[in-house]
């Protein structure tokens, strides 16, 4: 059975009572910035002893590139996720508090939610724990989105332009980014564990404080500060943090013993991976920390007040989508000969010229039927044209990436390049050098390469409407 | 040799802010360094260092933290064929190398 979010609370009086008489404070334990990255079990125990009301942890991000969303596969390994879940599920069961995991399986696709749910089910069985698990799916159907597009309800976020239906159709996966609402609905429907698809990093830790009646400004700001675990402390290698939200603000502290929260470490976290350090959009409004104050309570705890939340007139759900850009084949060789390194930029230009000519002659292909990126690691690969001229490097790693509409074409171009990657002299050289290939075979087929193509928002009346919740024991 | 922003800073860092933006921060050591950086970094300077349109550059000056923060759309989308820095974690170097007043 699919539980319609937000409609199943009428007969659950205990939640209604809780909602009308807010507690003095709500405490959230964040074990790390990413499920599967590990944490110290002793720090989790300390957090439980301090009265945690919920445990929340992020399971993903777009940060590692479009492959994970495009392919619907996780970046983390199952064993690492199982290890973390074992401690967290035990802790949730012992303390009888909710565990919330967001952006399951790295990108929050339905396959990612099911992957984490499968690992959680195994752990629950092995540990003989009886917890009710909700899966909140965030993947979107292109046909539904096309209807919303036709109704004028999808608009771009900078720097992208207007969306067209073909772009939607071309995506292998599209997810909507949920706020706290579907998570709260799942908890109110009786879930002990919420495994959410793609969610804002902040929605996870904000959900229980908001559900229990804490004010929106401190709830959201607190959630932003702890979303990356120990990143808001003086020693981010200690990952576990604890935040207490109350009627006038919040207090944040590390659970690790060799680290501290300072006004600077906490305030600085608003800068991390954000375009704008003062305001951030959630589905139902803006977090505004312009007037927030950060005060040290002692040498490891920081008190934050003055955070605001400004509700939006129009609620929106952000979309993320990725599609196959092409298939890629990689080749890599090393150059140590100073005679070549002295003219390395011209050598690379010569290689591109000869390769273009050889591919045309042998395969009958011309750009844009294939694309080549030639990178000179050790010289200017990372920053490219932003780099300043320097003396010739000691050695250079030459990476050739070929992309085409199919793998066979990409590999054919890379194979045509092989004699050049091995022997191409400089323009003035009278002999054929041989360069240092590190591997045989020289070419590595990298499969499909994906690209992010959505950065748009959908206008919604109900921020739970684009998400589907399944509570365990019920058929999907 | 003149001091760079990197010399005046505790840390200069860069990172993706979602797949389509890059953001970077200069954490200055003190108020004096902050004043120099806040004056030296503007939209035009960033546009020149990174070969981007100055109209797309956002500069935030945060005196309470001695921080100058810069955000602009990634010239190359994350993960595309031409992207050589998936997390944009090495793109602080041109900013750190800036010599104020030079």
CB contact under 8 A, A455 and B19: yes
Assigned domain for B101 exists: no
pLDDT above 70 covers a percentage of chain A that reads 95
- CA-CA distance, A79 to A308, in Å (whole number)? 40
Torsion angle defined by CA atoms of residues A81, A82, A84 and A87, in that order, rounded to the nearest 10 degrees: 160
Assigned domain for B38 exists: yes
- Work out the minimum CA distance from B73 to partner chain A, whole angstroms: 6
pLDDT of residue A16: 45
pLDDT of residue A475: 44
Portions of chain A given CATH number 3.30.70 = 324-453
What's CA A397's distance to the chain center, in Å?
30
Strand pairing of A99-106 and A133-137? Answer: unpaired
- Work out the minimum CA distance from A8 to partner chain B, whole angstroms: 35
A293's CB contacts (< 8 A; 6+ apart) are: A304, A305, A306
Nearest by CB to residue A271, choosing from B67, B84, B97, is: B67
State residue A171 phi and psi, 5-degree precision: -75, 140
**CB count in 10 Å sphere of residue A49:** 9
- Cite the beta strand spans of A99-202 per DSSP E: 99-106, 133-137, 154-156, 173-177, 193-196
- Work out the minimum CA distance from A451 to partner chain B, whole angstroms: 6
Nearest by CB to residue B80, choosing from A159, A273, A451, is: A451
Question: Tens digit of pLDDT for each residue in A23-68?
Answer: 999 999 999 999 999 999 999 999 999 999 999 999 999 999 999 9
Question: Tens digit of pLDDT for each residue in A142-172?
Answer: 999 999 999 999 999 999 999 999 999 999 9
| pLDDT confidence tier of residue A322, bands split at 50, 70 and 90 | very high
CB contact under 8 A, A403 and B81: yes
For chain A, percent helix, then strand, then coil, each to nearest 5? Answer: 35, 30, 40
Question: Tens digit of pLDDT for each residue in A386-409?
Answer: 998 888 999 999 999 999 999 999
**In whole angstroms, how far apart are CA A114 and each of A83, A172, A213, A314?**
17, 17, 31, 31
pLDDT of residue B19: 94
CB contact under 8 A, A273 and B20: no
CB contact under 8 A, B64 and A375: no
The residue range of the domain holding B49 is 5-96
What single string gives the DSSP state of each residue in B55-99? GG-EEEEEGGGTEEEEEEE-SS-TTSTT-S-TT-TTTTHHHHT--
Low-confidence stretches of chain B (pLDDT beneath 70): 1
pLDDT of residue A474: 54
Cβ atoms of A89 and A82 closer than 8 Å: no
CB contact under 8 A, A276 and B62: no
Q: What angle do CA A191, A139, A28 make, to 5 degrees?
A: 40
Domain A324-453 of CATH type 3.30.70: yes
Give me the half-sphere count of Cα atoms (radius 13 Å) on the Cβ side of residue A198: 25
CB contact under 8 A, A325 and B80: yes
pLDDT above 60 (res A246): yes
Question: Tens digit of pLDDT for each residue in A335-354?
Answer: 999 999 999 999 999 999 99
Cβ atoms of B15 and B21 closer than 8 Å: no
Give me the half-sphere count of Cα atoms (radius 13 Å) on the Cβ side of residue A237: 1
pLDDT of residue A473: 63
Q: Across the strands, what pairs with B14?
A: B24
**Contacts of range A75-82, beta carbons closer than 8 Å, 24 or more positions apart:** A75/A106, A76/A34, A76/A35, A76/A36, A76/A37, A76/A106, A77/A36, A78/A115, A78/A119, A80/A36, A80/A37, A80/A38, A81/A35, A81/A36, A81/A116, A81/A119, A82/A119, A82/A122, A82/A123
Segment A447-460 shows an average pLDDT of 97
pLDDT of residue A20: 66
Mutate: best of A234, A273, A325, partner B, most B CBs <10 A: A273
Nearest by CB to residue A451, choosing from B50, B60, B79, is: B79
B23 and A CB contact within 8 Å: yes
ipTM for the whole complex: 0.94
Q: What angle do CA B78, A315, A319 make, to 5 degrees?
A: 25
Nearest by CB to residue A277, choosing from B62, B82, B93, is: B62
Picking from A290, A345, A311, the residue whose alpha carbon sits closest to that of residue A463 is: A311
B56 and A CB contact within 8 Å: yes
pLDDT above 70 (res A72): yes
pLDDT of residue A182: 98
**The model's pTM:** 0.93
pLDDT above 50 (res A86): yes
CB contact under 8 A, B18 and A455: yes
CB contact under 8 A, A381 and B84: yes
CB contact under 8 A, A383 and B91: yes
The number of folded domains in chain B is 1
| pLDDT confidence tier of residue A21, bands split at 50, 70 and 90 | confident
pLDDT of residue A154: 98
Mutate: best of B75, B81, B90, B96, partner A, most A CBs <10 A: B81
Which helix (H) or strand (E) segment holds residue A243: the answer is strand A241-246
pLDDT of residue A13: 41
* The pair of three-digit structure tokens given for residue A191, joined into one six-digit string: 């879930």
CB contact under 8 A, B79 and A271: no
pLDDT above 90 covers a percentage of chain A that reads 92
Number of residue pairs across A and B with CB atoms under 8 Å? 97
Chain B residue numbers touching A273 (CB-CB < 8 A): 15-18, 23
What single string gives the DSSP state of each residue in A91-124? HHHHHT--EEEEEEEET--HHHHHHHHHHHHHHH
CB contact under 8 A, A62 and B19: yes
Question: Tens digit of pLDDT for each residue in A184-206?
Answer: 999 999 999 999 999 999 999 99
């Amino acid at each position: 059975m699919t539980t319609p979010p937000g409609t199943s609370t009428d007969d659950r009086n205990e939640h209604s009572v809780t909602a009308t008489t807010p507690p003095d404070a709500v405490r959230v334990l964040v074990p790390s910035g990413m499920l599967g990255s590990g944490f110290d079990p002793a720090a989790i125990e300390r957090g439980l002893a301090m009265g945690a009301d919920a445990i929340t942890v992020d399971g993903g991000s777009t940060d590692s590139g479009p492959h994970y969303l495009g392919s619907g596969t996780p970046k983390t390994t199952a064993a690492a996720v199982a290890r973390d879940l074992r401690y967290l599920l035990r802790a949730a069961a012992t303390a009888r508090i909710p565990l919330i995991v967001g952006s399951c399986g790295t990108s929050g696709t339905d396959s990612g939610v099911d992957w984490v749910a499968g690992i959680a089910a195994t752990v629950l069985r092995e540990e003989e724990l009886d917890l009710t698990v909700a899966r909140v799916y965030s993947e979107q159907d292109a046909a539904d989105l096309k209807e919303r597009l036709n109704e004028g309800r999808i608009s771009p976020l900078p720097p992208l332009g207007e969306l067209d239906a073909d772009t939607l159709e071309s995506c292998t996966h599209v997810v909507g980014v949920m706020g706290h609402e579907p998570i709260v609905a799942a908890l109110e429907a009786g879930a002990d564990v919420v495994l959410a698809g793609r969610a804002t990093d902040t929605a996870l830790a904000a959900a229980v404080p908001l559900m229990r009646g804490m004010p929106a400004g401190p709830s959201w700001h607190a959630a932003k500060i702890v979303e990356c675990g120990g990143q808001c402390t003086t020693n981010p290698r200690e990952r576990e943090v604890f935040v207490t939200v109350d009627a006038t603000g919040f207090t944040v502290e590390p659970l690790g013993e060799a680290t501290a929260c300072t006004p600077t470490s906490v305030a600085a976290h608003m800068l991390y991976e954000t375009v704008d350090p003062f305001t951030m959009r959630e589905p139902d409004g803006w977090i505004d920390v312009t007037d927030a104050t950060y005060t040290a309570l002692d040498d490891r705890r920081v008190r934050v007040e003055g955070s605001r939340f400004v509700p939006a007139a129009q609620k929106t759900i952000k979309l993320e989508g990725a599609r196959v850009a092409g298939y890629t084949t990689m080749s890599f060789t090393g150059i140590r000969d100073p005679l070549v390194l002295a003219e390395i930029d011209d050598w690379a230009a010569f290689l591109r010229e000869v390769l273009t000519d050889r591919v045309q002659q042998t395969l009958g292909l011309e750009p844009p039927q294939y694309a080549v990126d030639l990178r000179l690691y050790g010289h200017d690969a990372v920053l490219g044209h932003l780099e300043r001229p320097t003396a010739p490097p000691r050695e250079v790693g030459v990476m050739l990436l070929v992309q085409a509409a199919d793998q066979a074409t990409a590999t054919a171009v890379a194979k045509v390049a092989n004699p050049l990657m091995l022997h191409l002299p400089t323009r003035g050289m009278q002999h054929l050098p041989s360069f240092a290939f590190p591997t045989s075979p020289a070419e590595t087929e990298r499969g499909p390469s994906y690209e992010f193509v959505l950065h748009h928002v959908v206008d919604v009346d109900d921020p739970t409407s684009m998400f589907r919740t399944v509570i365990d024991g019920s058929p999907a | 040799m003149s001091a760079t922003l990197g010399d005046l800073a505790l840390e200069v860092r860069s990172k993706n802010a979602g797949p389509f933006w890059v953001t970077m921060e200069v954490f200055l050591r003190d108020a004096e360094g902050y004043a120099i950086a806040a004056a030296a970094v503007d939209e035009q300077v960033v546009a020149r260092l990174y070969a981007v349109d100055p109209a797309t550059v956002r500069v935030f000056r945060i005196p309470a933290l001695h921080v100058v923060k810069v955000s602009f759309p990634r010239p190359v989308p994350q993960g595309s064929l031409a992207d050589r820095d998936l997390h944009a974690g090495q793109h602080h170097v041109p900013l750190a190398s800036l010599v104020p007043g030079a």
